[in-house]
Homo-oligomer: A and B are copies of this chain.
Amino acid sequence: MLARYLPILEWGRTYNTGVLTNDLVAAIIVTIMLIPQSLAYALLAGLPPVVGLYASILPLVAYAIFGTSRTLAVGPVAVVSLMTASAAGAVAAQGTAEYLEAAITLAALSGVMLAVLGLLRAGFLANLLSHPVVSGFITASGLLIATSQLKHILGVKAGGDNWPDMLGALAGAIGDTNPWTLAVGIPATLFLFWVRTGAKPALQRLGLAPRVADIVAKAGPVVAVMLTILGAIAFDLEAKGVALVGEVPQGLPPFAMPSTDLALIGQLWVPALLISIIGFVESVSVARTLAAKRRQRISPDQELVGLGAANIASAFSGGYPVTGGFARSAVNFDAGAETPAAGAFTAVGIALASLFLTPLLYSLPVATLAATIIVAVLSLVDMKTPGQLWRYSKADFAAHAATIAITLLAGVELGVIAGVAVGLLLYLWAASRPHAAIVGRVPETEHFRNIARHKVFTAPHVLSLRIDESLTYLNAHWLEEFVMEQVAEHPELRHVILMCSAVNAIDASGLESLEAINHRLSDGGIKLHLSEVKGPVMDRLERTHFVEELGGQVWLSQARAFAHALADDGRDRSEPGDMARGLI
């Protein structure tokens, strides 16, 4: 029981020096990757760079204790950073103490929400975000984030939460471009693109082993950071108007308190909820993918608790909302991490960096960090999915396209909400107009198939309808109208058989419409039968008077129901083959 809420008790028992070595190696690699990324994402969130480091220390320790994924790496991520900037920007100006307080409060609110949802075992709520919605949101966020960083590459001031605002502001400010900033930003961007795509093969051609080449390539961003720091010092870029990171406070994370101002909480709870949901969905899908590769399992409900603890830890140590990131988790996994202890060791690495390395960051050009972000997020933009969705399902494509369009045009918060709403409406619309077919018997078998697709045997006084959906309140009216319409078209009818093999549930509204149908058919001298009713559905129907009042009977198989109805015609039972020719 305790181990369910504290997964560390489980993996901690079998910890040994072999595992320790693997976890330490992974932690060193992830630390090297995480330092520039943490600084960059804090910049994206509109926060001082050091806040990114703070958000990469205690949250990792908290997740190591409460999380169920062995290899998930928690910390600041691009999409959540953008959402933080959007939410905190709505209540305070960037650079103010209020803005930082808002970011910390977002982390606290999000942490509490996640933990409570986890304790309520409400992980299923994340299912409301379909794959097309999530992938549309990530693509659009990638484009928004890359666009938001162009100002740092150009060295101009420009704002905006959505494409129209951002592009307008950039167009207005482009005349102020600082050529020195551009001279840092463009080479840094090109170098990082090369590191991501061409560096590993090039290093292998130089004779490095693939694994070593991979690790060296992962250190590319650190190389870019070092080179541009040296360049900034050598050319005195600060005097030439190039934005540098500047003074970064040295030391461990401070103890911070989220705001308890109810007015502020009132403004932040909706964005905090969206951040929680998006963060959870992103994190769980990464954790699931990695766990599957090693045949491990994660518990979505406990993941909520783990991420909740991480965010609460972030809030109280001056950080901002965090979640499990895809890139860093993949690196952690590839580098051989075996347990969440690797995350705790990474936290020690980042803590050491914030104790000793921060003075070195004074001369780091902001354009380098912007280049890191741009290169990282453009890999989030997925150009293949829209075409695949269009071919497979127009409804899924619509949800995907609506999410992309609204996220780009109206910002991340409305984008998520619109995506969930469109997905849900399309789902409910489909559920309210289910597929149903008139079926007949495939000659010389006991199978029944759609008369529109197969050569089958039917009889004019028997109508067999297969309902391809559960009968719920969403389609109760549809069922009534569908059956009565069919009956109106078949005046010789004496038996209607509803084939329920695909009816997985009948709720109270569905039951009521069945009762109404039975009543109306009985008035017209037609018997209503049900066939192939599933066990759980039948169990429930037996608790009502419906079965007693049914004009016909409930049959275990459609074949028997059909045979009975045929026999009622007064004619002898014929071989299906004989009758089929005239009747199909």
- Which residues of chain B are near A501, meaning CB under 8 Å? 501-502
Q: Is the CB of B544 within 8 A of A391?
A: yes
Q: Is the CB of B540 within 8 A of A392?
A: yes
Is A432 part of the binding interface, using a Cβ–Cβ cutoff of 8 Å?
yes
- Which residues of chain B are near A543, meaning CB under 8 Å? 391-392
Q: Is the CB of A433 within 8 A of B502?
A: no
Q: Is the CB of A127 within 8 A of B535?
A: no
| Interface 9-residue window, one of A360-368, A469-477, A561-569 | A469-477
Q: Is the CB of A476 within 8 A of B536?
A: no
Of B297, B437, B472, which is within 8 A of A427 by CB? Answer: B472
- Which residues of chain B are near A472, meaning CB under 8 Å? 130, 427
Chain B min CB distance to A61 (Å): 28
Q: Is the CB of A508 within 8 A of B432?
A: no
Is A124 part of the binding interface, using a Cβ–Cβ cutoff of 8 Å?
yes
Interface size on A, residues (CB 8 A): 62
Q: Is the CB of A535 within 8 A of B450?
A: yes
- Which residues of chain B are near A468, meaning CB under 8 Å? 504, 534
Q: A392-B540, A393-B540 in contact; A434/B504 too (CB < 8 A)? A: yes
Is A428 part of the binding interface, using a Cβ–Cβ cutoff of 8 Å?
yes
Is A22 part of the binding interface, using a Cβ–Cβ cutoff of 8 Å?
no
Is A573 part of the binding interface, using a Cβ–Cβ cutoff of 8 Å?
no
Is A157 part of the binding interface, using a Cβ–Cβ cutoff of 8 Å?
no
Chain A positions 270-303 with a Cβ under 8 Å from a chain B Cβ: 288, 292, 297, 300
- Which residues of chain B are near A259, meaning CB under 8 Å? none
Of B131, B292, B432, which is within 8 A of A127 by CB? Answer: B432
Q: Is the CB of A132 within 8 A of B509?
A: yes
Copies of this chain held together in the complex: 2
In the bound complex, CA of A474 to CA of B125 (Å): 9
Q: A124-B433, A534-B468 in contact; A396/B507 too (CB < 8 A)? A: yes
Of B396, B435, B469, B511, which is within 8 A of A508 by CB? Answer: B396
- Which residues of chain B are near A475, meaning CB under 8 Å? 127
Chain B min CB distance to A133 (Å): 8
Q: Which residue of B is nearest A433, CB measured?
A: B124
Is A429 part of the binding interface, using a Cβ–Cβ cutoff of 8 Å?
yes
Q: Is the CB of A507 within 8 A of B393?
A: yes
Q: Which residue of B is nearest A426, CB measured?
A: B507
Q: Is the CB of A130 within 8 A of B393?
A: no
Q: Is the CB of A502 within 8 A of B505?
A: no
Of B128, B395, B476, which is within 8 A of A428 by CB? Answer: B128
- Which residues of chain B are near A553, meaning CB under 8 Å? none
- Which residues of chain B are near A508, meaning CB under 8 Å? 130-132, 388-389, 392-393, 396
Is A211 part of the binding interface, using a Cβ–Cβ cutoff of 8 Å?
no
Is A446 part of the binding interface, using a Cβ–Cβ cutoff of 8 Å?
yes
In the bound complex, CA of A393 to CA of B427 (Å): 23
Interface code A429-457, partner B: CB below 8 Å = 1, 0 otherwise?
11011110100000001110010010000
Is A76 part of the binding interface, using a Cβ–Cβ cutoff of 8 Å?
no
Chain B min CB distance to A277 (Å): 14
- Which residues of chain B are near A540, meaning CB under 8 Å? 392-393
- Which residues of chain B are near A300, meaning CB under 8 Å? 477
Is A240 part of the binding interface, using a Cβ–Cβ cutoff of 8 Å?
no
Of B292, B393, B396, B474, which is within 8 A of A520 by CB? Answer: B292
- Which residues of chain B are near A446, meaning CB under 8 Å? 445-447
Chain B min CB distance to A497 (Å): 16
- Which residues of chain B are near A434, meaning CB under 8 Å? 504
- Which residues of chain B are near A450, meaning CB under 8 Å? 535
8 contacting pairs across A/B (C-beta < 8 A): A124-B428, A124-B432, A127-B475, A130-B507, A131-B473, A131-B509, A132-B508, A468-B504
